[in-house]
Amino acid sequence: MTERIRVGLIGYGMAGRVFHVPLIRAAPALELAAIVTSRAEEVAALDPAIRCVATTGALLADPSIQAVVVATPSATHAAIAADALRAGKHVVVDKPFALSLAEARALAALARTSGRQLAVFHNRRFDSDYLSVRAAIEEGAIGRVTHCESHFDRFRPEVRDRWREDGSAGSGVWFDLGPHLVDQALALFGRPLAVSADIVALRPGSVADDWAQVVLRYDGMRVVLHASLHAPDAAGGGSPRFAVHGDKGSLIKRRLDPQEGQLIAGMRPDDAGWGIDTDPVEVHDGAGGMALRPAARGCQEQFYRQMAESWATGSAPPISLDEAVAVQEVIEAALLSARAERVVTLPLP
C-alpha cells in the first residue's frame, strides 16, 4: 500500500472544522496528521492520532508534513502560504487567495519556482447547483447564453462579533462569498472584458460590506454576481441560486447545494445521502414549456482527492494557479469599480 501524504491544517475555526477536516479525511491518500490550534481538547476528541501543534512555525519545521492547508483569517493567507512554500510544503489556501492581485501574482510566482503545488480551496466547483447548470449549458439546453445571474445569499440581519464582519482587512461579504461566485463564473464563461460593481454595508451597525452586486461584461453577454447577508436564499423566499437565459430558453436552479448544511449537521462524504440535491433544474423553452432536470450530486470531497493525485503524481490540480490569479483579478476589479463608481476594464496592470 502506498504511504499516505501527511497533511497539516493551520486554523481550526469554522472553515477548518466544518469543511477542511472532513474533506481531507475523506481522501484515502491523505492523512490529517496535525492541526495548528489552541483547541487541544477538541482535536483530541476528534481523533487522538492527530497532533495539536502550538504554532505555524512548528508545523512548517516538521519534515514529516508534506502538505499544508491554510484556513486562517483572510488577511493572513498570503504570508502563511508563502512561508509554507518556502518550507518546501505543498499548499492549499482557503479563499480568498490573497487580499490583492499583487499578492496573488507574487504567490503564484513563488509557487512556480518552489517546485511545490499551490491551489486555492474553491470547493464550490463541486457543488450540485453549479455542476447541474454547467452540464445543461454545455449540452445546449438553452442555446447561446446571454444573461446569467448567480446569487449566494444568507439571511443574517444582525451584525455578528467575528472577524468576517469587523471591518478589518479581508472582512466583508465580497471577500467571503465573492471568490466562490467569481470562480464559478470564470469556469463557465472565462475572463470578462470589464467589471462594474456596487459593494456596500447596508445593515445597521455594519462596518464591513454585506451586500455586493457585480456585473461581468462579456461580448454579447452579462453575468450578474450577487451576495448578501440580509436576504434569504430561494428556500426562504429569496432569489434563485442561478437564473441563466439564452437564445433558446432559460435555466432556473432555485436552491443552494446541500453539502455545507450536511457537513454542519455531521454528515460525511461516505454517508448515505451525501451530496444529493432534491431541487431540480427548471428548463424553460421560451414558448411556455418547462421540463425538470435532476440535479447533479454534489461532491466537494473530490477537491482533496484530486489534490492528493496532484501531489503524488504532479498532475494538474483541480484549480490551476492561473485560475486562482484570474479570480483575484476580478475580485480586485470589482473593489476598484465600487470605490470609483466606474467600469473597470481587464486585464488589470
Domain with 233, as residue range(s), is: 124-299+332-340
Same domain, 150 and 95: no
Same domain, 186 and 253: yes
What is d(CA 140, CA 160) in angstroms, rounded to the nearest whole number?
43
What is d(CA 36, CA 52) in angstroms, rounded to the nearest whole number?
6
Could you tell me the sign of the dihedral formed by the alpha carbons of 100, 105, 106, 107, in that order? Answer: positive
Instruction: Provide the pLDDT for residue 2.
Output: 72
Same domain, 187 and 231: yes
What is d(CA 240, CA 148) in angstroms, rounded to the nearest whole number?
11
What is d(CA 237, CA 243) in angstroms, rounded to the nearest whole number?
15
Instruction: Provide the pLDDT for residue 286.
Output: 86
Same domain, 22 and 164: no
What angle, rounded to 10 degrees, do the helices at 178-189 and 128-138 form? 20
> Which residues face 153 on adjacent strands?
228
Instruction: Provide the pLDDT for residue 303.
Output: 98
Same domain, 199 and 278: yes
What is d(CA 244, CA 132) in angstroms, rounded to the nearest whole number?
12
> Can you give the CATH number for the domain in which 100 is found?
3.40.50.720
- Rounded to two decimals, the pTM is 0.97
Same domain, 146 and 272: yes
pLDDT digits (tens, 9 = 90+) for 256-293: 999 999 999 999 999 999 999 999 999 999 899 999 99
Half-sphere exposure of 181 (CA within 13 A, CB side): 28
DSSP state of 184: H
Helix (H) or strand (E) holding 299: none
Enter the C-alpha cell of residue 58. Answer: 512548528
Report how many domains make up the chain: 2
Flag whether 210 is in a domain: yes
> Can you give the CATH number for the domain in which 216 is found?
3.30.360.10
- Backbone φ and ψ for 9, nearest 5 degrees, come out as -105, 130
Among 174, 216, 212, residue whose Cα is nearest residue 194: 216
As averages over each run of 10 residues, the pLDDT of the chain (349 residues) reads 90 97 98 97 96 97 98 97 98 97 98 96 98 98 98 95 94 98 98 98 96 98 97 93 98 98 98 98 95 98 98 95 98 98 98
* Beta strands 221-228; 145-153: pairing state: parallel
pLDDT digits (tens, 9 = 90+) for 97-150: 999 999 999 999 999 999 999 999 999 999 999 999 999 999 999 999 999 999
